[in-house]
Structure 1
């Protein structure tokens, strides 16, 4: 039991910090607030984390591990439109779970060199996966685009997916933490990314695209 208690306190600190950062923004939350919310002393918190940046870096390590597991194309077959759809939804769900990174991105990167370097790697990885998905569709003659167009498309996909929640926050800052409102925002984000791909699709894949986007739009309130 003596070995488990410190780990449990550390987990509670991370869980609460993530919730507070997501709800109120990382710049507005201090280690004092976190300690008070957990009903522990500041010294107990500092036993597990040296400062707030240490908490942020630990949360980012969790995020990085999750996104690394998610960012993969099928190894045994060519990707299809359903793979693209699933990739987008999982991406947006993960962004939502760690949304403070995206909402406060510029501020965080400007003062955290480690975060800056690792986030660049994540963006590069996302772009590579988007390229691989598009190339796979092209190899299957489901997408018609040049290499240059695919490069541009992959970058646009990553830009929209990365900054979509910031855009939604500007549109509805007072409703940003409401789950139902943001479920619609995430669905709109998926549609916006798919709309970038749509003009390049052909044949059956185009039909699947139209069906998926129609179903997605019906769910919006």
Structure 2
């Protein structure tokens, strides 16, 4: 078990540094000062390591979805949750920066990723219900508004790391803050006065102008 964990950790670091497609079994073995044969005892091929890392990552995200109904429904807590998710995604950034290729080359990952979408969507709908109950966001005018908003939040969450890699940006705390603020700003047109006050309390004036007095 210990050797398996060491292999997964070393593989994840290499995938993050070089991308999944650029890393070979031999490279992983060399990083661990292990023979390829010894590594093959634990994982027969690179795709098995990929799947193990994906489901390792997913198990943590899925637990957070289970705990989601217990969270405090406020703008501050929402930002805390978004940043926690972002930091965890950085640990597995190779997956998110090559999302399209990975899910389309591995059937098990693709199937599970699509199944999880439904849980993520329901969590966002629950979030909006909790924020409405706490008078932070307004009721929607059209039935489909919060459905579309859920899809926007999921899409933004899936692609923020890819967008940084695409334009050669560097991942640091400043970027995490900026991207979290951008995601939260999607909600701004739906905020009540109470929601806007909470929004201004969690958004630095250096990032956005104060939107209400």
Fold shared, TM-score > 0.5 on shorter chain: yes
Q: 1:186 to 1:122 in 2, by over 3 A?
A: farther
CA contact (8 A) 2:97 2:162 kept: yes
Secondary structure of the 2:111 match is: helix
Q: Give 2:134's match in structure 1, choosing from 110, 115, 140.
A: 140
Task: Structure 2 unaligned segments of length 5 or more: list them.
Answer: 209-213
When the two structures are superposed, what TM-score results if normalisation uses the length of structure 2?
A: 0.89
- Offset at 1:167? 0.6
Which of 158, 171, 181 pairs up with 1:162? Answer: 158
Deviation at residue 145 of structure 1 after TM alignment? 3.6
**1:7-55 deviation line (CA, Å, top 9, x unaligned):** 2211111000000001110000010100111111111101001111100
Counting helix residues as a fraction of each chain, which structure ranks higher?
1
Counterpart of 2:144 in 1: which secondary structure? helix
Say if 1:73 and 1:79, in contact at 8 Å, map to a contact too: no
User: Is the CA contact 2:135–2:194 (under 8 Å) kept in the aligned structure 1?
Assistant: no
- Rounded to whole Å, the distance in 2 between the matches of 1:116 and 1:215 is 40
Separation (CA, whole Å) in 2 of partners of 1:26 and 1:102: 11
**Does residue 58 of structure 2 align to residue 64 of structure 1?**
yes
Of residues 133, 148, 151 in structure 1, which corresponds to 2:147? 151
**What is the total number of aligned residue pairs between the two structures?**
205
Residue 78 of structure 1: how far off its partner (Å): 6.3
1:93-117 Cα shifts (integer Å, max 9, x gaps): 1111111111111111121000001
TM-score (normalised: structure 1)? 0.86
Asked if 1:190 corresponds to 2:185, the answer is no
Give me the whole-angstrom Cα distance separating, in 2, the residues matched to 1:142 and 1:122.
Answer: 27
Alpha-carbon RMSD across the aligned residues, in angstroms, is 1.9
Residues 189 and 122 of structure 1, relative CA distance in 2, 3 Å threshold: farther
State the shift of 1:216 in Å: 8.1
Report Cα offsets for 1:123-167 as digits up to 9, x if no partner: 332222111111111122221142411111111011111101111
- 1:63 & 1:22 partners in 2: Cα distance? 14
The residue that corresponds to 2:30 in the other structure is 36
Q: CA deviation at 1:88?
A: 0.8
Counterpart of 1:100 (choices 94, 97, 102) is 94
1:206 is matched with 196
Q: Measure, in 2, the Cα distance between the counterparts of 1:27 and 1:184.
A: 29
Return closer, same or farther for 1:16/1:185 CA change in 2, 3 Å cut-off.
same
* 1:135–1:150 Cα contact (<8 Å) kept: no
User: Looking at both structures, which has the greater relative contact order when contacts are Cα pairs under 8 Å and sequence separation is at least 6?
Assistant: 2
